[in-house]
């Protein structure tokens, strides 16, 4: 009997759609198929019978929510993936410490950027960016112009859901590192500093930052866990910086990298297997 046939005969089998758990022995990963009818009859029945679907993908997360099926990560987590605008709005609503940030829509509003922020400040691509891409330290008007120009498409038109691509501007809080805190379920799975290279203001490991596990502040861990739980995110990397003795949440990454786990000597697949087996996710 193959693994799928065995799973079909066991109504308690753990089922995943996305590939994150493909190396976990206690989960059957079916793979993502945008046409639901492309799943086999047995696969469809597994999905319908499962108490919970793991890593449902953004495509299926809201569909499973509508039908009342539990998922991990939950729908709320998927709702904020790579969306800095939504994240900032939520941080402000929940009074979570966050650098002063404003989104400027349309050309008229963008002319007001320099009336609101003074150089230097941070400018980011508001949606879809990760690993430090689309993040800029703006020191002068020329760099601001370049950033705004980069928000255009290949035809030179500012298009974002039928309107101008918004500019996401954030105050610059000088720092040489940030803290990545990974929360899985309702527990901290890992925390580490990402120490920036001297030539780069960004602290992303993909940009050459070094990983350090030394002297992780408890109050930062507490803020990260509070943020994840308050925002309803159950599989997330929360990024924080320290400025003048206070910690600020910069953003949340639902597609966090695994290099920190590797450096810490943690087998990520075994970690997830154990969390699933213990019923924590």
DSSP string, the chain: --HHHHHHT-TT--EESSGGGTT-TT-EE----SSGGGS-HHHHHHHHH-SEEES-HHHHHHHHHHTT-EEES-HHHHHTTTBHHHHHHHHHHTT-----EEEE-HHHHHTTHHHH--SSEEEE-SBS--TTTTEEEE-SHHHHHHHHHHTS-TTS---BTTBPPPEEEEE----SEEEEEEEETTEEEEEEEEEPPTT-S---GGGTPEEE-S---HHHHHHHHHHHHHHT-SEEEEEEEEETTEEEEEEEESS--SHHHHHTT--HHHHHHHHHHTT--
Question: Strand 15-16 to strand 28-29: parallel, antiparallel, or no bridges (unpaired)?
Answer: parallel
Predicted local distance difference test score (pLDDT) of residue 130: 60
Residue 162: per-residue pLDDT: 47
Contact 182, 189 (CB under 8 A): yes
Q: How far apart are alpha carbons 73 and 53 in whole angstroms?
A: 9
The predicted structure's pLDDT at residue 151:
83
pLDDT of residue 209: 82
What is the pLDDT at residue 108? Answer: 84
Q: Tell me whether strands 52-54 and 70-72 are parallel, antiparallel or unpaired.
A: parallel
CATH homologous superfamily for the domain 177-277: ATP-grasp fold, B domain (3.30.470.20)
130: Cβ–Cβ under 8 A, 6 or more apart, which residues?
82, 253, 255
**pLDDT score of 12:** 62
Span 4-56, pLDDT tens digits: 555 544 446 899 999 999 999 999 999 999 999 999 999 999 999 999 999 99
- CATH code of the domain made up of 100-171: 3.30.1490.20
Is residue 53 a contact partner of residue 276, using CB atoms and an 8 Å limit?
no
Report d(CA 180, CA 239) in Å as an integer.
5
Report how far residue 107's alpha carbon sits from residue 86's, in angstroms, rounded to the nearest whole number: 21
Contact 169, 104 (CB under 8 A): yes
Residue 72 · residue 55 · CB < 8 Å: yes
**What residues contact 77, with CB distance under 8 A and at least 6 apart?**
232, 233, 234, 235, 236, 254
pLDDT at 106: 86
pLDDT at 160: 46
User: Are 260 and 182 in contact, with CB atoms under 8 Å apart?
Assistant: yes
Residues of the chain falling short of pLDDT 50: 1-2, 8-11, 154-162
Pairing of strands 167-171, 121-124: antiparallel
Angle, vertex CA 44, rays to CA 38 and CA 50, nearest 5: 145
pTM, 2 dp = 0.88
């Amino acid at each position: 009997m193959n693994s799928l046939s065995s799973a079909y005969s066991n109504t308690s089998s753990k089922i995943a759609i996305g590939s994150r758990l493909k190396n976990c022995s206690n989960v059957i990963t079916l793979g993502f198929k945008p046409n639901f009818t492309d799943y086999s009859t047995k696969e469809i029945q597994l999905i319908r019978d499962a108490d919970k679907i793991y890593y449902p993908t953004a495509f299926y997360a809201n569909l499973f929510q509508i039908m009342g099926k539990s998922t991990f990560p939950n729908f709320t987590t998927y709702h904020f993936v790579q969306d800095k605008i939504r994240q900032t709005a939520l941080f402000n609503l929940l009074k979570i410490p966050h650098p002063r940030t404003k989104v400027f829509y349309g050309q008229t509003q963008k002319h007001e950027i320099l009336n609101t922020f003074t150089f230097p400040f941070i400018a980011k691509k508001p949606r879809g960016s990760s690993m430090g891409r689309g993040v800029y330290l703006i020191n002068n008007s020329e760099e601001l112009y370049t950033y705004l120009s980069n928000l255009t498409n290949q035809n030179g038109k500012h298009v974002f859901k039928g309107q101008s691509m918004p500019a996401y501007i954030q105050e610059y809080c000088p720092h040489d590192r940030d803290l990545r805190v990974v929360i899985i379920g309702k527990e901290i799975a890992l925390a580490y500093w990402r120490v920036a290279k001297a030539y780069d203001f960004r602290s992303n490991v993909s940009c050459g930052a070094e990983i350090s596990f030394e002297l992780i502040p408890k109050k930062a861990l507490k803020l990260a866990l509070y943020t994840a739980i308050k925002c309803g995110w159950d599989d997330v990397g929360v990024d924080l910086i320290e400025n003048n003795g206070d910690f600020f949440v910069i953003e949340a990454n639902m597609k966090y990298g695994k290099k920190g786990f590797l450096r810490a000597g943690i087998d990520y697949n075994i970690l997830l297997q154990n969390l699933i087996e213990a019923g924590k996710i």
